[in-house]
């Protein structure tokens, strides 16, 4: 019984991680950069929900998704686009700067104290001895739908196929008439929208938000993306679900519960030592 509850919780948490990891992995695959500010987009989404919650929860969710999409596009245009073609180190440091900037702005606007964001009380499902929150089930269902939808989008739509083309060979894609700048913009927009939804699901799990709300989930989701193989969309999903399960099962054992974060990050380091490309990543040959 206990096992089943932990399993469902783990899958649900893993679904959120997978959603964030998708943002990391898509941006990495297409723009070849590590978007450190991605985790803070989750926080931006959370605060947007807080601001618009007074009107209507559904309006708040829509507003968060739209605002985060715009935010993602603006960040890409202002901070990352000027650095296209510059050294990866410079892009990485700029991304960290953006992350730091978003956190500081949030703290200026909303203060560092945690704020309560109660979106809706969804109640608990009870079957026999099992009690699972409806929010957990909704999260799981939504993440499954989103993942399937994203997979279909990437595989079958024109934009999605252009995204794959750009991630495989930017120059050749450009020669084939794909507008690379637009594709990168779309990627950032989709990633940021997913981050906003992740923020929503985190708030359904635990209704408090503070300026560093997104940084730890962001780092963990990145770990998930690397575990699954960075640049690979199915990899991000597998990695996310795996990490969520590991986290929930580690937390269910009292002896190792305080060390949950350390365990998750240790898995990253061990994996890099054993299989640097991740579980589903492809090895790329480097050309001179």
Partner 1 sequence: MMKGFQNIKWQRYLNYVAIGLVLIIFSSLALAGGLPQSTVFKLEEIAISIILAVSLSLVVGFLGELSLGHAGFMCVGAYLGGKVSAILVEPLGNGILTLLISLAVGGLCAGLCGFIIGLPALRLKGDYLAITTLAFGEIVRTIFQNTSPESFGGAIGLATPRFNRKYFFIICFIMVLVTLAVIQNLIRSKHGRAITAIRDNEIAARATGVNVTRYKLTGFIVAAVFAGLAGVLFSYTQSNVSSATFDYNYSIEILVMVVLGGMGSINGSIIAATLITFLNKELATVLTGDLAVLKDLIYALILILIVIYNNSPKLAGFREKYNLKNLFARLTKNRFSKHDADDTKRWDVVPTKIKMDALLSTDFVVTEVKADKPKEEDHE
Task: Show contacts with partner 1 in window 229-258 (CB under 8 A).
Answer: 258
Q: How far apart are CA 5 and CA 3, in angstroms?
A: 6
Stretch that binds partner 1, among 62-70, 138-146, 176-184, 214-222 (CB under 8 A): 214-222
Q: Is 133 helix (H, G, I), strand (E, B) or coil?
A: strand
Query: Which one of the spans 144-152, 161-169, 192-200, 211-219 is the region binding partner 1 (CB under 8 A)?
Result: 211-219
Whether residue 75 contacts residue 98, with contact meaning beta carbons closer than 8 Å, is answered with yes
Binding-site member from 222, 236, 242, 248 for partner 1 (CB under 8 A): 222
Residue owning tokens 């019984």:
1
Cα–Cα distance for residue pair 173/27, rounded to 1 Å? 16
Q: Which of residues 5, 73, 79, 280 is near partner 1 by CB under 8 A?
A: 79
As measured in angstroms, the least distance from the Cβ of 81 to partner 1 is: 9
Identified binder of partner 1 from the candidate list 6, 62, 100, 132, rule CB under 8 A: 100
Mapped onto helix, strand or coil, the DSSP state of residue 89 is: helix
273 near partner 1, rule: CB under 8 A: yes
Tokens of 91: 């892009």
Q: Is 217 exposed, middle or buried (0-12, 13-18, 19+ CB in 10 A)?
A: buried
The rounded distance, in Å, linking the Cα atoms of 40 and 99 is 6
Per-residue string for binding with partner 1, 22-41, x by CB under 8 A?
------------x-------
Q: What does the binding site for partner 1 look like in residue numbers (CB under 8 A)?
A: 34, 79, 82-90, 92-94, 96-98, 100-101, 103-105, 107-108, 111-112, 215-216, 219, 222-223, 226, 258-259, 261-262, 265-266, 268-269, 272-273, 276, 286, 288
């Amino acid at each position: 019984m206990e096992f089943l509850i932990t399993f469902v919780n783990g899958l649900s948490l893993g679904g959120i991680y997978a959603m964030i990891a998708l943002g990391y992995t898509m941006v990495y695959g297409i723009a070849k950069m590590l978007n450190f500010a991605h985790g803070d987009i989750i926080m931006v989404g959370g605060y947007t929900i807080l601001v618009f919650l007074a009107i209507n929860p559904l309006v708040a969710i829509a507003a968060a998704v739209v605002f985060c999409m715009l935010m993602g596009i603006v960040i890409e245009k202002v901070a990352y686009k000027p650095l296209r073609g510059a050294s990866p180190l410079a892009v990485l440091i700029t991304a960290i700067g953006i992350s730091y900037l978003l956190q500081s702005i949030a703290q200026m606007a909303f203060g560092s104290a945690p704020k309560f964001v109660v979106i809706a009380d969804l109640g608990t499902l009870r079957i026999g001895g099992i009690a699972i929150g409806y929010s957990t089930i909704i999260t799981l269902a939504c993440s499954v739908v989103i993942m399937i939808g994203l997979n279909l989008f990437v595989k079958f739509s024109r934009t999605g196929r252009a995204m794959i083309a750009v991630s495989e060979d930017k120059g050749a894609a450009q020669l084939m008439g794909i507008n690379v700048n637009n594709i990168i913009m779309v990627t950032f927009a989709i990633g940021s929208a997913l981050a906003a939804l992740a923020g929503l699901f985190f708030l359904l799990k635990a209704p408090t938000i503070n300026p560093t709300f997104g940084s730890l989930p962001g780092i963990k989701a990145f770990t998930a993306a690397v575990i699954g193989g960075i640049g690979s969309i199915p990899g991000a999903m597998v990695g996310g679900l795996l990490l969520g399960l590991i986290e929930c099962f580690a937390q269910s054992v009292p002896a190792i519960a305080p060390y949950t974060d350390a365990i998750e990050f240790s898995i990253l380091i061990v994996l890099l030592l054993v299989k640097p490309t991740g579980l589903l990543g492809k090895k790329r040959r480097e050309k001179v």
